[in-house]
Structure 1
Amino acid sequence: MAVDRARVAAIVHELLEAIGEDPDRPGLRQTPERVAAAYEEFFAGVGADAAAPLAQTISVTRGPAPDTLPSGAVMVRDIAFRSICEHHLLPFRGRAHIAYLPGEEVVGLGALARVTEILSSRPQVQERLGEQIADVIDDSLDCRGVLVVLDAVHECVTMRGPRQTESSTVTIAARGELAEPFARAELVALLGARA
């Protein structure tokens, strides 16, 4: 479902009036259309198939490099993401760290970032976002385990309420073999390690 830009612009115009502003003054005249365009980008993942980026897999035994069969996890760290909190419609942004234990097939590393982008481009909460990423990978790939760690800063915490500008929220979602704390300990340690 595409964002109805005209409707969003009309609502923003009304919102500006509701807060006591003049939406027709020079600085705000184009704001409704700008917000509508931004919302189209922010919410591009609504209705999109998050599993689509994982459809193209590579066989590890019959693929282009069968001598490089992974014996452990495949991890992509520091995938930048941004989303809009569904509670206050304020942004949150951070880094996703995704690992999986491959079975017979692996996926291109960029596909993990695309899954994250699709799912974060919806009204979200961080806790559900991590669970959704883990579910899509677990359901779509032949893998023995999945770990998703999200570390994000929420504007609903930094700009309002407690105004904790230095705080971040960390969530963990795990599936399969990596659902056991002992099994994921090495991967969690790698998140803090830098070469």
Structure 2
Amino acid sequence: MSTINYEQIEHAVKLILEAVGEDPNREGLLDTPKRVARMYAEVFSGLNEDPKEHFKTIFGEDHEELVLVKDIPFFSMCEHHLVPFYGKAHVAYIPRGGRVTGLSKLARAVEAVAKRPQLQERITSTVADSIVETLEPLGVMVVVEAEHMCMTMRGIKKPGASTVTSAVRGVFVDDVAARAEVLSLIK
């Protein structure tokens, strides 16, 4: 488990400010390195979390039908540019043998995975694989929709462009009707 080195972040932020031609001793910037260090500790707190831990609480319930938690908001940081991306995750699974988890655990797992330097594709597959490995469901489907600030404020500069990724496991791979049900419920 890693710990955040606040002093090192503060020093790095001062260097960045100087490198772009700013004066880190200017009144408005005096506390910026400390604020950025606290922000990084918060937005990268998922580095110290295993999303599978959220699925250790399992309830016995005679239910082998779809469970879907949709529109789970998340914020993450693009590992290529250290710029935010944000959106919604939709997590669906079909329990096996009465192994269900608390609904909030699905949202907590999304948050734990998102709070790291990240790629959207990795968020999607990590959440799906964590559910498969711990709950052993009949199937899992995770769909993530996000807007990436690295595409909005720099580079191609296309605000409003949305990226959609999906991870499909178990029965959802071959059962087109089950997959279509999830997608229709998400919309």
TM-score above 0.5, yes or no: yes
Q: Output the CA distance in 2 between the equivalents of 1:146 and 1:74.
A: 10
Q: C-alpha deviations, 1:121-156, integer Å up to 9, x for none?
A: 110000111000000011010311100000000000
Q: 5 Å matches for 1:178-189?
A: 178-180=172-174, 182=176, 183-189=178-184
Q: Which residue of 1 aligns with 2:21?
A: 20
Q: Which residue of 2 aligns with 1:82?
A: 75
Letter in 2 for 1:147: M
Equivalent residue for 2:152, pick from 155, 158, 174: 158
User: Is 1:191–2:186 an aligned residue pair?
Assistant: yes
Q: Output the CA distance in 2 between the equivalents of 1:71 and 1:173.
A: 20
Q: TM-score, normalised by structure 2?
A: 0.96
Q: Output the CA distance in 2 between the equivalents of 1:79 and 1:13.
A: 35
Letter in 1 for 2:143: V
Q: Output the CA distance in 2 between the equivalents of 1:168 and 1:141.
A: 30
Q: Which residue of 2 aligns with 1:134?
A: 128
Q: 5 Å matches for 1:30-41?
A: 30-41=31-42
Q: TM-score, normalised by structure 1?
A: 0.92
How many residues are treated as equivalent by the alignment? 184
Preserved contact between residue 3 and residue 43 of structure 1 (Cα < 8 Å): no
Q: Output the CA distance in 2 between the equivalents of 1:170 and 1:53.
A: 25
Q: Which residue of 1 aligns with 2:165?
A: 171
Equivalent residue for 1:120, pick from 100, 114, 122: 114
2:138 alignment partner, SS class: strand
Q: C-alpha deviations, 1:55-92, integer Å up to 9, x for none?
A: 001001xxxxxxxx334210000001010000000000
Structure 1 runs, 4 residues or longer, greater than 2 Å off: none
Q: Output the CA distance in 2 between the equivalents of 1:180 and 1:44.
A: 36
Letter in 2 for 1:45: G
Q: Which residue of 2 aligns with 1:46?
A: 47
RMSD of aligned C-alpha atoms?
1.0
Q: Which residue of 2 aligns with 1:145?
A: 139
Preserved contact between residue 42 and residue 121 of structure 1 (Cα < 8 Å): yes
Letter in 2 for 1:187: V
Q: Percent identity?
A: 43
1:147 alignment partner, SS class: strand
- For structure 1, the residue ranges without an aligned partner over 5 or more in a row are 61-68
Question: Structure 1 residue 181: deviation in Å?
Answer: 6.0
Between structures 1 and 2, the one with greater helix share? 2
Q: Output the CA distance in 1 between the equivalents of 2:51 and 2:105.
A: 10
